[in-house]
Amino acid sequence: MEDANAELDPSPILQAAFAFWTSKVLLTAVEFDVFTKLGDRRITGPELGAALGLHPRGIRDFFDALVAMQFLDREGDGPSATYFNTPAGSLYLDRSSSRYIGGILVMLNDRLLRFWHDLPEALHTGQPQNETKHGQKGMFEELYAELPRLEQFLGAMKGLSRINFEAFATKFNFSNFKTLCDVGGATGLLSIEVAKKHPHLRCTSFDLPPVEPMRKNISPPPDLAIASARPQAISSRTRCPRPT
């Protein structure tokens, strides 16, 4: 009698169970700035490993794992093989790219991964497993309390939001509007993207005072004028002059 279970494939179960392996390899590569170090170069594993300060024992397996997962490309074999960025890696994982999304990967690795480790406890107790679990303040209070942590969070949100902001600026009909106010606008990216495509709009990005240092570090396109409207909170007006 034929076993009905013989046709059932366990692969999806195993792939999901082992998914953290591939995730951790990618998150570690972003933490080490592998894609940024490579840039537009083609270099050997030992050269790349030395640039990253890695022990020789693991560099070949590490970089080849990224090749197998299609996050890097490789030309040749053995110690003389050269590694280089894929087009997607260059566009999204190199910090010098305007479309860099690695910020969210950095935060996943540094902050969120350890919280997800406590999922069983969350399901049993119903209690939050973020900073409050360890006697700290609420999530946003902790994020806003220290500049490096806030910078990491804003970098993560910027990478996630850029594509959505570009789509919003392109597809929404702003012809009947004169102003746009982005409350909680952080670095002002939405205002910048909308103002670039709709120069008739007056765009305002508003957020809390701790965000201002990051706001000042944003370099807007040369055709945008940025001014701070309120000293007690960020309310920066971003305007794109009309063509003459």
Are 158 and 205 in contact, with CB atoms under 8 Å apart? no
| Token representation of residue 35 | 């894609």
- Tally Cβ neighbours within 10 Å of residue 115: 15
Q: Which residues contact 181 (CB under 8 A, 6 or more apart)?
A: 203, 204, 205, 206
Closest CA to 164 of 190, 140, 145, 144: 190
Are 83 and 71 in contact, with CB atoms under 8 Å apart? no
pTM tops 0.85, yes or no: no
Task: Please give the chain's pLDDT, 244 residues, in tens.
Answer: 566 666 889 999 999 999 999 999 999 999 999 999 999 999 999 999 999 999 999 999 999 999 999 999 999 998 899 999 999 999 999 999 888 988 889 888 888 888 888 989 989 999 888 777 766 666 677 777 777 777 778 878 887 888 889 899 999 999 999 988 888 888 788 888 898 889 888 888 887 777 776 665 555 544 343 433 343 333 344 444 443 3
Q: Which residues contact 235 (CB under 8 A, 6 or more apart)?
A: 204, 205, 206, 228, 229
Torsion 146-152-156-161 (CA) sign: positive
Are 155 and 106 in contact, with CB atoms under 8 Å apart? yes
| Token representation of residue 30 | 């972003």
Q: Which residues contact 204 (CB under 8 A, 6 or more apart)?
A: 179, 180, 181, 182, 185, 191, 229, 235, 236, 237, 238
Position 214 scores a pLDDT of 66
CA 32 to chain centre: 14
